[in-house]
């Protein structure tokens, strides 16, 4: 059998949910690692070779449904393994919690009970988006543009933020295609 992806780590304190997820995702991933606690998540991420993604529950403390456990582990994963996509999963859907998770770097958010096809598509999208490679020049152009926008057009502040001189910033901006042009050329 040919799998689309290598390894998925699934962390959920409910063993029945882990079993259901393992069955649901068995044809998509060559290797699925399940954990009932996030305590060994960091060493596992460090030891495993080709981890494509982490599917992370939001709550691990008995009787606590705030999602703070999941947010803590999400921040930890993103700090130590910034290129590993994390998809959050919870039975306690909360828009503010989802927004916080996305701000902290989650690739997406899934609610329990999940739709198998949507869950698979969500994981595929998170992994595939993470695998996209853009040319260095394009990445630099986007970064420069975001810095200028972030500084609301204040060139001195943007140059300082980027660690370059204003003259260099002006040269880089001159090299950028006009807004909307890049899309038309493709």
Which pLDDT tens digit goes with each residue over 106-143?
A: 999 998 899 999 999 999 999 998 877 666 777 788 77
Residues 36 and 76 grouped into a single domain: yes
Residues 83 and 162 grouped into a single domain: no
Residues 56 and 125 grouped into a single domain: yes
Residue 117 belongs to a domain with what CATH number? 3.40.50.2300
Residue 165 belongs to a domain with what CATH number? 1.10.10.60
Asked if the model's pLDDT at residue 66 lies above 50, the reply is yes
d(CA 175, CA 169) in angstroms, rounded, equals 10
Contact 8, 29 (CB under 8 A): yes
Residue 30 included in any domain: yes
d(CA 169, CA 87) in angstroms, rounded, equals 36
Residues 86 and 147 grouped into a single domain: no
* pLDDT score recorded for residue 186: 40
| Residue pointed to by tokens 């200028």 | 148
Residues 168 and 91 grouped into a single domain: no
Eight-class DSSP state of 107: S
55, two tokens: 């599917």
Residues 62-86 as b/e (b if ≥16 CB within 10 A, e otherwise) read: eeeeebebbbebbeebbeebeebbb
Average model confidence (pLDDT) across the chain: 85
Residues 153 and 84 grouped into a single domain: no
Structural domain including 154 reads 136-178
Residue 183 included in any domain: no
The tally of domains found in the chain comes to 2
Residue 140 included in any domain: yes
Asked if the model's pLDDT at residue 182 lies above 60, the reply is no
Residue 185 included in any domain: no
Residues 124 and 152 grouped into a single domain: no
Residues 10 and 80 grouped into a single domain: yes
pTM: 0.70
Residues 69-88 pLDDT 10s: 889 999 999 999 988 999 99
Residues 70 and 37 grouped into a single domain: yes
Domain-terminating residue out of 110, 131, 152: 131
Handedness of CA 80, 110, 36, 54 (dihedral sign): negative
């Amino acid at each position: 059998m040919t799998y689309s992806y290598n390894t998925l780590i699934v962390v959920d304190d409910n063993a029945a949910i882990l079993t259901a997820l393992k069955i649901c995702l068995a044809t998509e991933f060559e290797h699925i690692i399940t954990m009932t606690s996030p305590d060994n998540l960091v060493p596992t991420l460090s030891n495993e070779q080709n981890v494509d993604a982490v599917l992370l529950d939001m709550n691990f403390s008995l009787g606590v449904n705030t999602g703070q456990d999941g947010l803590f582990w999400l921040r930890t994963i993103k700090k130590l393994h910034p290129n590993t996509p994390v998809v959050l999963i919870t039975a306690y859907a909360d828009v503010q919690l989802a927004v916080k998770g996305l701000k902290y770097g989650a690739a997406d958010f899934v609610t329990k009970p999940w739709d198998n096809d949507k869950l698979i598509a969500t994981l595929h999208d998170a992994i595939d988006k993470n695998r996209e490679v853009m040319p260095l020049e394009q990445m630099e152009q986007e970064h420069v543009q975001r810095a200028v926008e972030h500084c609301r057009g204040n060139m001195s502040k943007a140059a300082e933020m980027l660690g370059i001189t204003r003259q260099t910033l002006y040269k880089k901006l001159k090299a950028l295609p006009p807004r909307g042009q890049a899309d038309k050329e493709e």
